[in-house]
Structures are given as structure tokens and as C-alpha cells.
Amino acid sequence: MNEEKSTNCLRGLPDTVAFSPDGRALRILDQTRLPGDTVYLDLTEPEEIYEAIKSLRVRGAPAIGVAAAIGLYCAALRFGETDTTRFIEKLKMTADYINSSRPTAVNLSWALGSMVSCADPALGVEENIARLRAKAEELRDADIAACRAIGEYGLTLLHDGAGILTHCNAGHLATTRYGTALAPIHVGRERGMRFRVFCDETRPLLQGARLSAYELCMDGVDTTVICDNMASQVMKNGWVDAVIVGADRIAANGDTANKIGTSGLAILAKHYGIPFYVAVPYSTIDLATATGDDIVIEQRDPAEVSELWYKHRMTPEGVKIYNPAFDVTPAELITAFITDRGIVRPPYKEKLSELFG
């Protein structure tokens, strides 16, 4: 694992996932070091890529999909295989291994599946390597285009000066560029629009306080961090015109898995009559999963709750800790999906299958 400082910026924001300059390693911005340090890691080994995704050095559904695709290509460069059948077997095994790092975001298995299925047993190893490189570039470029489109569509729902509440980080840092939930804000900023954004801190890993606040401040957005339990008060004050969040997997009926705490926000938004939008690219929509009940929710290390941010252990020794990384928001609480193919309103089962089937 090479560690290197980088000054490569997009509108002041560092790239999240990329090829290293020599094209032989996956380069990620280490998000566990933000907002303090801008540090890039160059990864080539499957174990390093697995660790980076599992420990949230790279995180956010679209970003882990693109990272896995570039990472699989870079790992394949080092297989040292000359026989195509054995090369493809190794490719599948490595893809399965990387895929086991996180279960909830469908983008991970989708991107790895796209990579594996582009390998052709009738071709030689070198030609397959070229195909894998092209596919990884295609997935990266498609992610940028989808996020840009989400930004454009999302902007049609917002007015200059709007107050927006968001949860976790579904921004530039969670994708290759622009983000999903934060894409309308970044695109609006390019046009000189102003927004007032409230970022839930997002316990336990603080993606809102550390990451959304960082990227919004870098983009000159009026940003306020609130503890998760303050959202109701902020809504009651009349400061929120819209809630916009991202997603890790949308089931065929519109049920939506996203960062733990999202479903509570949707319930609050309904109470206060505030529109609740979910911004997603096509790669997050999983029509093969019927409803939210079929989505596997990742359970994470209890120490993230009890120890991670504290100088001394914060909970009594031995107390039980429940640490699900995601929850499912029922489709009926979602006002609309902001997708790269347009704004999708109910009935979701029909509309999602029309647009994404």
C-alpha cells in the first residue's frame, strides 16, 4: 500500500476514486483521514481493496462500485496468468472476495458482476485485461454522467436560498464526482445559487459531520452540522424546505436502504409536511430485490459506537450494543426519487420498472 499526499482537485474537492498515474493501482482518497488530512492510498492487492472498503476508507454506494471495478482490474494485472480459463477463474474468485466486504450497497456486486461478465473465454489474457480496463473506465465515466444528471434533475426541485437537510454523506466523496443527494447543490453552486444545508452528524461514524460538512464548506455552501436528534427541532423551526438523502439499494417496490437513521428522518418529514427525496443513479436500483424486507443490512463492530471517537470507553464494559449500518425507509414515505433518468414519483413499482427494467 503506497501512501501519498495529493493536490489533485476538482473545484477544490479531491478525487475520491481513480487510477494511479501509472494506471496500475487503484487510487483512493482515505476518507477515514478527513477532514484533517488529504491522503491518497494506491492499492493493488485484493486484501488491501477489501480492507479499504470494509473500513470505509472508500465508502458510499457508487464510490465503492467504481473502486471495486478499478481495483479488480489492477489486481488482475498481477495474477501472472497466461491461461485464459485460469485467469477468468481467478477473476471470479477475486471479485467474490471483494464483494464480501460490504453487503448492503448493490453497486458493489453490480460493478463487480459487470467486470466479470465482460471477460471472454475465447480471448487471450492480454485482450481480457484490455477489456477489463475499458469496462472499469466505462463504469467510472457512467457514474460521473449519472451524478451530473441527478444534479440537473434535482435542481428543478429547489429554489435559490432553499434549506436542505441531508443525512450521512451522499456527496462527491461517495461517488466519482458530484454525488447524488448533494449533486443538485454542487451543480446549483456552479450557477451561483445559494443553499442552506443542515448535515446530520450521522452516528456512529459521523459521515455527515466529517464528510458532508467538509465537501459543502469546500464548495462555499452555508453549512450547519446538527446532532441526529436535532433534526425534528430544525424542521419545526421551518428551516428545511426539502430532505435529500442517497441510497444503498432501492428494491423493486421503492423501499430504500440507506444509512441508519434515514427512515426516522422520513417519518419526521412526513409529520412536518416536508418533501423527502432520495437521489440515486441507475446502479443503485435493484429490481431483482422485491421489497425492503429482502435487503441484507450490514451489522458493524460495536466498538464504533462505544469506543471509536472517545478517549475512554464511553459505555459500561459488557453492555450490549446494536450497530446496524443501514435501515430501510418504506416507499410510502418517499416523495420522489431523483434519478439520472428523471424524477420518479409513485406508483414506484410500475415507474421504476418502466425506467430501469
168: contact with ligand MRU by CB under 6 A: yes
Site map (CB under 6 A) of ligand MRU, residues 64-103, x = contact:
----------------------------------------
Task: Kindly state the smallest distance separating residue 178's Cβ from ligand MRU, in Å.
Answer: 10
Name which of 284, 319, 304 is nearest 104 in CA terms: 284
Task: Kindly state the smallest distance separating residue 284's Cβ from ligand MRU, in Å.
Answer: 7
Of the residues 184, 259, 289, 328, which one makes contact with ligand MRU according to CB under 6 A: 259
The count of residues interacting with ligand MRU (CB under 6 A) is 19
End-to-end, the C-alpha distance of the chain in Å comes to 40
Q: Which is nearer to ligand MRU, 109 or 180 (CB)?
A: 180
Of the residues 14, 46, 62, 184, which one makes contact with ligand MRU according to CB under 6 A: 62
**Cα 292 from Cα 328, distance rounded (Å):** 6
**Cα 26 from Cα 170, distance rounded (Å):** 21
Task: Kindly state the smallest distance separating residue 265's Cβ from ligand MRU, in Å.
Answer: 12
Nearby residues of 65 by Cβ (< 8 Å), 6 or more positions away: 105, 107, 108, 110, 111, 139, 143, 283
Stretch that binds ligand MRU, among 20-28, 123-131, 132-140, 171-179 (CB under 6 A): 171-179
Q: Which is nearer to ligand MRU, 128 or 283 (CB)?
A: 283
Query: Per this entry, what is the length of the chain?
Result: 357
- Residue 245 C-alpha cell reads as 438523502
Amino acid at 176: T
DSSP sequence for 296-351:
PPPB--THHHHTTT-SS--S-TT-----BSEEEE-GGG-SEEEETTEEE-S-HHHH
- Residue 132 C-alpha cell reads as 477489463
Task: Kindly state the smallest distance separating residue 279's Cβ from ligand MRU, in Å.
Answer: 7
Report whether 264 contacts 167 (CB < 8 A): no
39: contact with ligand MRU by CB under 6 A: no
**Cα 96 from Cα 116, distance rounded (Å):** 10
Which residues are part of the catalytic machinery?
A: 248
Q: Which of residues 294-353 bind ligand MRU (CB under 6 A)?
A: 325
Site map (CB under 6 A) of ligand MRU, residues 238-257, x = contact:
--------xxx---------
Q: Which is nearer to ligand MRU, 72 or 250 (CB)?
A: 250
143: contact with ligand MRU by CB under 6 A: no
What is the contact surface with ligand MRU in residues (CB under 6 A)?
56, 59-62, 105, 168, 170, 174-175, 179-180, 207, 246-248, 258-259, 325
